[in-house]
Amino acid sequence: MTGLGAIEIKTFVPARDYELSRRFYADLGFTEKSEFEGVAYFALGGCSFLLQHFYQQMHADNFMMHLLVDDADAWHQRLTEQDIVGRYATHGVRMNAPGDRPWGMRDFHLIDPTGVLWHIGHNTR
């Protein structure tokens, strides 16, 4: 079918403090490609999302993202060396250690300044 192909899918990630969240995601390694009226387009490789200046606690506290990477341990090490948690700890940022999951992933969790839970991991199978 001509004209009905899909190009990309993105989610709108909520941000309680929009400017803080923009800095946080840039520090994680995402590139801000554009910004217009409270929506910033962030990308890293072939992955992208839209950061939205929007916050409802119930929504943010139940919002999750999954980032599939080449090496979860390398990502965790880089974020630890950058002291991402220490730099943003007063804003609720937390991160646990990588672990192997029975469903064939090795991942760790990172909670952003809004409360969004990121699963960052790689496949083990």
Query: Class for domain 12-123, per CATH?
Result: alpha beta
Across the chain, mean pLDDT equals 96
Mean pLDDT of 24-42: 98
Contacts with 105 (C-beta within 8 Å, 6 or more apart), sequence order: 121, 122, 123, 124
pTM of the shown model? 0.93
Asked if pLDDT for residue 74 goes beyond 80, the answer is yes
State the number of CA atoms in the 13 A half-sphere of 38 facing the CB.
8
What's the confidence (pLDDT) of residue 75? 98
CA distance 118 to 28: 12
Indicate the domain borders of the chain.
12-123
What's the confidence (pLDDT) of residue 55? 97
CA distance 17 to 39: 12
What's the confidence (pLDDT) of residue 3? 82
Looking only at the bridges linking them, the beta strands covering 64-68 and 117-123 are parallel
CA distance 67 to 90: 24
In this structure, the chain runs to a length of 125
What's the confidence (pLDDT) of residue 1? 59
